[in-house]
């Protein structure tokens, strides 16, 4: 197996698993997660807000070699998470695409956008990340009910 970038979807139990939280993950040749990008709201101290209703929109890059669940969430490892392949390649080609994804995550963090459950949220962040690496998010993981905000194009300033 080669390195991969996967589009993940985690059914949110609070919403009977109908609505999902989308994320993007990079796995190594053995399928182990190396990095993950999640969108959502930030708490005042900068930590990830798992139960967000309001707050600044953020994108968090999790390094699986340096785990900290308060500041960098992990969804790939949850048993109910589902993933779809976005890209597959050697380490260098995936690392190049991942760098573009991390750049967009940084833009989102500093964008000043506000989190909104139905408009701009984790799902719109995952869509922006997928688009940044030149791939559309999988149709099975987006939708107004399944993944609110997944159709939202974030208004990011381009450098």
Report how far residue 125's alpha carbon sits from residue 153's, in angstroms, rounded to the nearest whole number.
9
Per-residue model confidence as pLDDT tens digits over 96-125: 999 999 999 999 999 999 998 888 888 999
Per-residue model confidence as pLDDT tens digits over 137-155: 888 877 766 677 787 788 7
Q: 108 and 156 in contact (C-beta within 8 Å)? A: yes
How would you classify residue 9: left for phi > 0, otherwise alpha for psi between -120 and 50, otherwise beta? beta
Q: 4 and 32 in contact (C-beta within 8 Å)? A: no
Closest by alpha carbon to 101, among 31, 34, 10? 34
Phi and psi at residue 106, to the nearest 5°: -65, -40
Per-residue model confidence as pLDDT tens digits over 7-16: 999 987 776 6
Stronger pLDDT, 30 or 1, i.e. the higher one: 30
Reduced to 3 states (helix: H, G, I; strand: E, B; else coil), residue 25 is strand
Per-residue model confidence as pLDDT tens digits over 61-109: 999 999 888 888 999 999 999 999 999 999 999 999 999 999 999 999 9
For the whole model, what pTM was predicted? 0.90
- Inter-residue long-range contacts of 42-47, CB under 8 Å, 24+ positions, other chains counted: 46/71, 47/71
């Amino acid at each position: 197996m080669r390195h991969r970038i996967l589009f993940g979807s985690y059914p949110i139990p609070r919403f009977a698993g109908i609505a999902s939280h989308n994320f993007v993950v990079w796995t190594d040749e053995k399928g182990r997660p190396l990095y993950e990008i999640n969108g959502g709201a930030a708490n005042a101290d900068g930590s990830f807000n798992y139960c967000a209703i309001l707050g600044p929109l953020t994108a968090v890059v999790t390094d699986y070699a340096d785990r900290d669940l308060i500041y960098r969430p992990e969804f790939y490892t949850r048993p109910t998470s589902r993933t779809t392949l976005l890209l597959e390649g050697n380490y260098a080609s995936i690392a190049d695409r991942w760098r573009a994804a991390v750049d967009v995550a940084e833009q989102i963090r500093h964008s000043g956008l506000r989190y909104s459950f139905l408009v701009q949220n984790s799902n719109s962040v995952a869509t922006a990340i997928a688009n940044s690496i030149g791939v559309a998010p999988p149709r099975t993981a987006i939708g107004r009910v399944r993944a609110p905000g997944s159709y939202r194009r974030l208004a990011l300033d381009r450098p």
